[in-house]
Amino acid sequence: MKTKIPLPILLFSGFLVLFGVYVTFSAFTNPSAVVTGFVADTAANQLMQGMWASRILSMVVVLGAALLLRSPNLLALALLMRLVTEVFDTLALVNTGGFSAMTVVLLVIAALELACIVWLVQLQRSAQPQ
């Protein structure tokens, strides 16, 4: 029996995909809209801009594939990938600029990702024959 992914997890994951598309587009076209003060004025900054946008795009692709395939295991793994990223992005924000509104947003997203992962794992375990 295939485990059905709960609607709140589908909606949250869908939001993450859409938000990721926005951030990826912004990272390529106007990175200072996402990271205040970022200027791609040197080759090194342009490299970081491309690497950062590509990292976000890869998460969007994996998360989108998990949603299209309706795979709870793949979705949990994609959310885990995002959770690790959110945690380290939060640490970088705190290290470079202190505690801000963006830090709170990332912490809330990370907490929701963790809750979704736990929910998906519990669903998968309960669906397995004893």
State how far the alpha carbon of 24 is from the alpha carbons of 69, 82, 89, in Å.
Answer: 23, 14, 15
Q: What is the pLDDT of residues 39-56, one digit of tens each?
A: 878 888 888 888 888 999
DSSP state of 3: P
The predicted model gives 74-79 an average pLDDT of 96
Q: What is the pLDDT of residues 91-115, one digit of tens each?
A: 888 888 777 787 888 899 999 999 9
Q: Report which of 22, 9, 8, 4 is spatially closest to residue 78, judged by C-alpha positions.
A: 9
Q: What is the pLDDT of residues 5-28, one digit of tens each?
A: 999 999 999 999 999 999 889 888
Domains of the chain by residue range: 7-127
Name the packing angle between helices 43-69 and 7-29 (round to 10°).
160
pLDDT of residue 61: 96
Q: Copy the structure tokens of residue 114.
A: 């963790």
